[in-house]
Structure 1
Amino acid sequence: MAAGFAPPKLKDFILTEKLGSGTYATVYKAFRKTDSREAVAVKVVSKKSLNKSSMENLLTEIEILKTVRHPHIVQLKDFQWDSDNIYLILEWCSGGDLSRFIRSCRILPESVARRCLQQIACALQFLHEKNISHLDLKPQNILLSGNVLKLADFGFAQYMSPWDEQQALRGSPLYMAPEMVCRRHYDARVDLWSVGVILYEALFGRAPFASRSFAELEEKIRSEKPIEKALVLQAVQKDQDGERSAALSLYCSALEHFVPAIHYETDRQRKEALRQKVNQYVSRAEELKALVRSDNKITFEKAKSTRNILIEMSRDQPRLLAALEVASTAVAQEESGAEDYDTLDLYQQSLGELLLALAAESQGRRRELLHSEIKSLMSRAEYLKELIKMRETQTDESLKKDAAAESVRSSCCLQ
């Protein structure tokens, strides 16, 4: 680590790598200077950066964390200070944050998202029973310790009874409740909105109201336009712009919303209108699928020769060679018509190994070919994922039609 960027000195700990930084604080991984060599996270807050408001927030954070003990809340082990900094010594969570976990998986299976939600809700219920509101819930502030999630970063937390109202804007815009974004009074229930946004992001890989500015975010939240319609509009625009692959992906994402909407719609006319829209979008997605397949054919043929060269160049790297053979198996299965999760798993296995190999590979021809191969396999995996999604949408809708028909037949038999 270069001079001038070395972490500060702390009597009982050795501070090592920097984990992250914000406006007021920098977080380091550290080890206790004892035989146990216990790993901790140390949040270093520069006194110079603190104004009156941020100092009050810090003192509230320390007070809250010193008094709460819960398996799904990061533990404050101690706090210290010197002439320059205040140090919060926190429980070490080796799994990083939920945001990184979601990005690494792209989207979380419903069973995993459900477990995450249960753990977050458990911590939040505990806090609200003590009249504590977090006010900055987001995936970056939820840490993983093994399979356990823990709420962290209580820098905006406040003691608030359910009926208390606040006006100060706190938290991160993408996860703020409408009453906060639109600058109205808000109460402790804003945490529940944030949990909903986190669940959406876990299931779909992105926040529902992603925006480039605060004004745009406010406009989207105020809009009565359902999310699925916004996705369809984006799909149509990409389609018109000739971006077929992006349009196909957006149509598939929109269909993930529309199919459950059909299931839960009680009005028969609206249900039928939704069903017609789904059929229309599925039809266009099928056309795009054929066009994208045609576009990909030439690219994939070129990639095949690259893969063969790379295999020959990797005879001295058994692990790399094994990953390339898994990739070849995935490609062969897909091209033989096995467009399923087993094939997708093979792509993901090979990509995990190949990305590790790329990180270790020095500059040269093999690195260039490896980089090209990874891009090609990612493209194939994404395309396959869209095909699976579209097929599941069609199957789901077909099953619902069959169930409805069976219900009608049963009713007729009973009369």
Structure 2
Amino acid sequence: MASSSGFGPPKLNDFILTERLGSGTYATVYKAYRKQDSREAVAVKVVAKKTLNKASTENLLTEIEILKTVRHPHIVHLKDFVWDSENIYLILEWCSGGDLSRFIRSRRILPEGIARRFLQQIACALKFLHDRNISHLDLKPQNILLSGSVLKLADFGFAQYMSPWDEKSVLRGSPLYMAPEMVCRRQYDSRVDLWSVGVILYEALFGRAPFASRSYSELEEKIRSDQPIELPPGARVSKHCRDLLLRLLERNPNARITFAEFFTHPFVDMEHMPSAESLGKAKELVQQAVQKDQDGERSVALSLYCSALEHFVPAIYYESDRQRKDVLRQKVCQYASRAEELKALVASDNKLIFEQARTSRDILRGTKRGREMSREQPRLLAALEMASDAIAKEQSGVDDNEALDDYQNCLGELLLALAAEPQGRRRELLHSEIKSLMSRAEYLKKNIKMQETQRDASLDREPLSDSVRSSCCVQ
């Protein structure tokens, strides 16, 4: 089936091996072409038998077993494997975009939106593996390949079948991306993959791993430290991104984010991951939005337009045809424009409600009974003050996310107060205040989502160098 030569790439009966792509302790990877008429491009991982000991032989067999049994759009496909007297050959699908490490180096840092699209694809592959009790155990940018706009996990040489309760102590992977419990040779479980994901996301956003070091001893010292991970000074990332990073890079595995929490985290947002279903969901929502718009239900129409746009942007990302991409972009611009118009109309509609609520708030604060209640329940007065601060922040437009946090905090306190308030005029005023603040919070949430969607839609218009254009996740 195959034969080897002491000079140049090995010889395979069905393939012509050409350029060497990389090499490690046990294997060398070549680009190759099938000799048949199709001239299909593949990657061939050549493992020299003489380099294999018992442990590495077991690893190789596990890698072949896993890759032969899994089939997923974000995991590299093992097409076949053959062997001769000297080597074992893994025939893998060809990924033309190189690896994620090269992509990050070519851009230095990635915009948060692009890093998020990468992360969604990693999460999709990890969920598939996690559901089958498979842990990769060597996640790093060099083992993540790009094929056009699609990202694929590769190199399962250290992968293991691990149930959630399984623990290991064997050192596996690359030190820069290893979880502290593995480096310290303590018992570890599948959560080490989540630490590695955190390191990859950190490197994508900031251009270097959190423990970048000049020597292995310096690296080991940093990893063994009990100091919590901090983001670089002046790091400008969203609240959800920061939260996910710090929870992934939690040194204590028992306090680290779980797989279930990771897959449902708002920054990962797998519901809006680019897929074949994205366009269908977007069209269905926009049809509902248009109908509500025609019926004069402005607020509902605005919400539906925003939801539709959250699926249209992933649909642009998923679409590979240039002309269809342009058509989708035009639709996004059209619907975003109508949403902006509706946003202004809804704001105008709400103005009277907001003014009425201000009167209610003043009555709650200013009456004698209101003053007595403030002494009995100072938390209520503090919540009303927080509501005023939220409105002021929203109107200033400096930080909508901070304003939204204030709205949500004060609403939590006011709802508790409402539950304790007996029937009467005061309860009616408090109910009116809560209704008004909820309306403002929902309006602000839609505005934030609109801004995020428009930023995502503009990502593919960023200038890219020729060397990475073909492998960019947004074309």
* TM-score normalised to structure 2 length: 0.50
2:205 is aligned to 203
2:171 is aligned to 169
2:257 maps to 1:255: no
1:122 is aligned to 124
Q: Provide closer, same or farther for how the CA distance between residues 397 and 48 of structure 1 changes in structure 2, counting only shifts above 3 A.
A: farther
1:32 aligned partner, one-letter code: R
RMSD: 3.2
Shift in Å at residue 397 of structure 1? 12
Provide the identity percentage: 79
Partner Cα separation in structure 2 for residue 401 and residue 95 of structure 1: 36
For residue 91 of structure 1, the aligned residue among 83, 90, 93 is: 93
For residue 109 of structure 2, the aligned residue among 96, 107, 110 is: 107
- SS of 2:235's partner is helix
Provide, for residues 334-361 of structure 1, a one-character-per-residue CA deviation record: whole Å limited to 9, x for no partner. Answer: xxxxxxxxxxxxxxxxxxxxxxxxxxxx
Shift in Å at residue 259 of structure 1? 9.6
Higher-Rg member (1/2): 2
2:157 maps to 1:178: no
Shift in Å at residue 14 of structure 1? 0.2
* Paired residues of 2:21 and 2:30 also in contact (CA < 8 A): yes
2:153 is aligned to 151
Shift in Å at residue 215 of structure 1? 3.3
The within-5 A match list for 1:61-76 is 61-76=63-78
Q: Provide closer, same or farther for how the CA distance between residues 225 and 259 of structure 1 changes in structure 2, counting only shifts above 3 A.
A: farther
1:121 aligned partner, one-letter code: A
The within-5 A match list for 1:29-68 is 29-68=31-70
Partner Cα separation in structure 2 for residue 150 and residue 260 of structure 1: 27
* Paired residues of 1:141 and 1:152 also in contact (CA < 8 A): yes
Provide, for residues 276-330 of structure 1, a one-character-per-residue CA deviation record: whole Å limited to 9, x for no partner. Answer: xxxxxxxxxxxxxxxxxxxxxxxxxxxxxxxxxxxxxxxxxxxxxxxxxxxxxxx
1:393 is aligned to none
Partner Cα separation in structure 2 for residue 22 and residue 154 of structure 1: 13
Q: Provide closer, same or farther for how the CA distance between residues 66 and 254 of structure 1 changes in structure 2, counting only shifts above 3 A.
A: same
Partner Cα separation in structure 2 for residue 84 and residue 227 of structure 1: 46
2:16 maps to 1:14: yes
2:93 aligned partner, one-letter code: E
Partner Cα separation in structure 1 for residue 236 and residue 120 of structure 2: 22
1:184 aligned partner, one-letter code: R
Partner Cα separation in structure 2 for residue 126 and residue 13 of structure 1: 31
Partner Cα separation in structure 2 for residue 58 and residue 402 of structure 1: 51
Q: Provide closer, same or farther for how the CA distance between residues 28 and 401 of structure 1 changes in structure 2, counting only shifts above 3 A.
A: closer
2:235 aligned partner, one-letter code: E
2:197 maps to 1:218: no
* Paired residues of 1:43 and 1:90 also in contact (CA < 8 A): yes
* Paired residues of 1:17 and 1:29 also in contact (CA < 8 A): yes
- SS of 1:89's partner is strand
Partner Cα separation in structure 1 for residue 41 and residue 90 of structure 2: 14
Shift in Å at residue 20 of structure 1? 0.3
Partner Cα separation in structure 2 for residue 104 and residue 148 of structure 1: 18
- SS of 1:45's partner is strand
Q: Provide closer, same or farther for how the CA distance between residues 400 and 69 of structure 1 changes in structure 2, counting only shifts above 3 A.
A: closer
2:439 is aligned to none
2:254 is aligned to none
* Paired residues of 2:112 and 2:237 also in contact (CA < 8 A): no
Shift in Å at residue 257 of structure 1? 6.3
2:233 aligned partner, one-letter code: A
Q: Provide closer, same or farther for how the CA distance between residues 215 and 257 of structure 1 changes in structure 2, counting only shifts above 3 A.
A: farther
- SS of 1:170's partner is coil
- SS of 1:254's partner is coil
* Paired residues of 1:259 and 1:397 also in contact (CA < 8 A): no
Shift in Å at residue 17 of structure 1? 0.3
Shift in Å at residue 221 of structure 1? 2.6
Partner Cα separation in structure 2 for residue 401 and residue 12 of structure 1: 58
1:6 aligned partner, one-letter code: G
Partner Cα separation in structure 2 for residue 66 and residue 171 of structure 1: 21
* Paired residues of 1:28 and 1:42 also in contact (CA < 8 A): yes
* TM-score normalised to structure 1 length: 0.57
2:359 is aligned to none
1:141 is aligned to 143
Shift in Å at residue 222 of structure 1? 3.4
Q: Provide closer, same or farther for how the CA distance between residues 95 and 163 of structure 1 changes in structure 2, counting only shifts above 3 A.
A: same
- SS of 1:194's partner is helix
Q: Provide closer, same or farther for how the CA distance between residues 33 and 219 of structure 1 changes in structure 2, counting only shifts above 3 A.
A: same
- SS of 1:256's partner is coil
Uncovered stretches (5+) of structure 1, i.e. residues with no partner: 232-252, 265-395
* Paired residues of 1:32 and 1:39 also in contact (CA < 8 A): yes
Shift in Å at residue 217 of structure 1? 2.2
Partner Cα separation in structure 2 for residue 397 and residue 221 of structure 1: 41
Q: How many pairs does the alignment contain? A: 257
The within-5 A match list for 1:303-382 is none
Q: Provide closer, same or farther for how the CA distance between residues 160 and 397 of structure 1 changes in structure 2, counting only shifts above 3 A.
A: farther
Provide, for residues 61-112 of structure 1, a one-character-per-residue CA deviation record: whole Å limited to 9, x for no partner. Answer: 0011000000000000000000110000000000000000011111111111
